[in-house]
């Protein structure tokens, strides 16, 4: 079974419980909602919510005035999203295998949707984000943070995510990979864990420049 198959099967099995716990946007911490709102203001249309789960973030982006659609590996998640938000578009698929032309998207939200990807797959994922974004388009990526190492960058750290294996990422390393993919970082932020959470949270907003450096 491939990594994608494992992730898909794991989220299919918990989709109903996941939606019960997280599908209400008001459950999302206020600081996170504020950051997503800032991203929505910066991004163009359309915005792809890649790894959309039950569709609550897609709907939030739409409520902020963006033309948004969602994509998720899990058929069960997509079924829940379509039922909850019948006016929005949701598709089952992989974020690295989207049938979209180059420069199609004004924004990409990858909210904890890359954490289950093996570290060696991240350069390819970010390169695909670069391909999909229009010049000036924005990316907001959210993840569990790991401390930077003695070198100031650090390495991803695997951990026992409640659904399936995931990795925590140092913010400087994410920034380096984004730069290597041709994206320019606009902002790094992190949030302390709430009472029910184990780890700090990292967020990076990046953009595709009008002309790729070099």
Note the pLDDT tens digit of each residue in 4-54: 878 888 888 888 988 998 889 999 999 999 999 999 999 999 999 999 999
Predicted confidence at residue 151, as pLDDT, reads 87
Of the pLDDT bands very low, low, confident and very high (cuts 50, 70, 90), residue 106 is very high
CB 60 within 8 A of CB 38: no
Predicted confidence at residue 43, as pLDDT, reads 98
Stated as kind and residue range, the H or E segment containing 90 is strand 89-92
CB 167 within 8 A of CB 159: yes
Of the pLDDT bands very low, low, confident and very high (cuts 50, 70, 90), residue 131 is very high
CB 25 within 8 A of CB 57: yes
DSSP 105-164: EEEEEEES-STTS-GGGHHHHHHHHHHHEEEEEEEEEEEEB----TTSS---EEE--SSS
Predicted confidence at residue 75, as pLDDT, reads 95
Of the pLDDT bands very low, low, confident and very high (cuts 50, 70, 90), residue 128 is very high
Answering whether pTM is above 0.85, one says yes
């Amino acid at each position: 079974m491939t990594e994608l198959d494992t992730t898909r099967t794991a989220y299919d099995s918990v989709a109903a419980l996941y939606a019960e716990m997280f599908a209400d946007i008001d459950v999302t911490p206020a600081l996170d909602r504020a950051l997503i709102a800032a991203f929505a203001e910066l991004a163009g249309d359309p915005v792809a919510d890649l790894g959309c789960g039950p569709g609550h973030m897609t709907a939030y982006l739409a409520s902020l005035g963006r033309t948004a659609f969602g994509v998720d590996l899990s058929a069960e998640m997509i079924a829940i999203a379509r039922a909850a938000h019948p006016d929005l578009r949701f598709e089952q698929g992989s974020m690295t295998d989207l049938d979209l032309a180059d420069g199609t998207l004004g924004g990409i939200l990858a909210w904890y949707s890359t954490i289950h990807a093996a570290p060696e797959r991240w350069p390819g994922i970010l390169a695909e984000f670069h391909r999909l974004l229009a010049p000036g388009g924005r990316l907001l990526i959210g993840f569990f943070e790991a401390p930077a190492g003695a070198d100031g960058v650090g390495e991803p750290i695997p951990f026992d995510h409640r659904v399936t294996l995931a990795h925590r990422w140092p913010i400087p390393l994410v920034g380096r990979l984004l730069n290597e993919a041709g994206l320019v970082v606009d902002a790094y932020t992190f949030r302390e864990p709430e009472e029910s959470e184990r780890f700090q949270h990292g967020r990076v907003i990046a953009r595709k420049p009008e002309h790729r450096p070099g």
